Amino acid sequence: MRASVSSDPKGSLDRHTWIELNARAYRHNIGHFRKRIPSRTRICVAVKANAYGHGLREMVRISREFVGIDWFAVHTLQEAKEVQDTAPTHPVLILGYVPLRALHRAVRPGVRLTVWNPETVHALSSQAHVRGLLVPVHIKLETGTNRHGVHAEDITAFVRLIDALPGIKLEGLSTHYANIEDTTDYSYARHQTEILFGVRNQLHDMGHTDLMVHSACSAAALLFPATHLDMIRIGISAYGIWPSKETLVSASSLPGFEPLRPVLTWKARLSQVKSVPEGQFIGYGCTYRATRSTLLGIVPVGYSEGYPRHLSGRAHALFHGQRAPLRGRVCMNIIMVDLTDVPDAHIEAPITLIGHDGDERVTATDLAALCGTIPYEILARLSPAIPRIIT
């Protein structure tokens, strides 16, 4: 059957490449988490790294109309501003470091900072006090990942500092798991949780009885009800991607298991269809020689758009429900696919780089396995310049 350009989603007609975002799939994924957690537990969706490559503003736009989402988490101050521009009524938690000289821009209603340095606490207090505002902060507790965080033995002094300074208020206590995705042995995660609970009790004795305590990433929220606490922070799974094979294996054995639904589909248009005689080389470095007369499809995307060069000669795209193997090296803005066995290839016909076509599917997890990496990296590297279309 001939591909019809008119069947493409609205907004893609004049694009050489675009990303489609399935709002129904996203709502399904959030609903899956909502059914697994207590009604009092908030859902915080991480939209850092351009919403894991999906498009921050687009995903926040979908989220703001969905009652199951309470907070957003970002990495940077600029991301927090983008969220507030799109969904001004939702609280935003900045997980990453904000430079001391930029803290004045973080003193704004609805924004929370994650803190672990005394220098940040002092500077934030000064800015908030001058403006007559009270800024809520969340302490990052170091429990075994050894990145940002305050060690448990230092927590009393750190909390006393926050309590003593004007303009800031301790609102939350958080931590992050080091080894909960890539394993089916969850003893280390349980050890980290025990440290968190111990510090929570310690702060309770110091008078902080209403703290928001949160630790659950996607894998923890799926596997361990004990980590649901006051809020879960879900990232990759909100977008329909399992954090790892191990998480999928563990989750699939639990009652009420439902498959997650990928939100993102990446498509492009064929910019040329050409015949390549048997024996001729294709692409840079002459790494592939045609073993037969080949019908070659030229696709105008490459590693500049986020299609990894490591996929050269390894991956497939999907065309008319069939797999089309890559030939030659991935270029900066071009890849070449073999369409010899696929009917009706023509210029500007859409081809799928990530997503499904008929019974065939290429996932971010598939591409990650070919690259020796994780789906997070495949998605996060998708160029922000690629148009995102909500379907």
What backbone phi and psi angles, to 5 degrees, belong to 56? -60, -55
How far, in whole angstroms, is CA 175 from its chain's centroid? 18
Which member of 35, 245, 274, 284 is catalytic? Answer: 284
Task: Please name which of 333, 318, 327 lies closest in space to residue 366, comparing C-alpha atoms.
Answer: 318
Residues belonging to the chain: 391
Distance from C-alpha of 265 to C-alpha of 10, rounded to nearest angstrom? 15
Note if 307 is an active site residue.
Answer: no
Note if 10 is an active site residue.
Answer: no
Q: Are 56 and 50 in contact (CB under 8 A)?
A: yes
For residue 382, the 8-state DSSP code is S
Which member of 48, 177, 267, 288 is catalytic? Answer: 48
What backbone phi and psi angles, to 5 degrees, belong to 37? -120, 160
> Residues 53-79, buried b or exposed e (16+ Cβ, 10 A)?
bbbbbbbbbbbbeeeebebbbbbbbeb
For strands 231-234 and 264-269, give the pairing: unpaired
Give the residue numbers annotated as catalytic, written as ranges.
48, 284
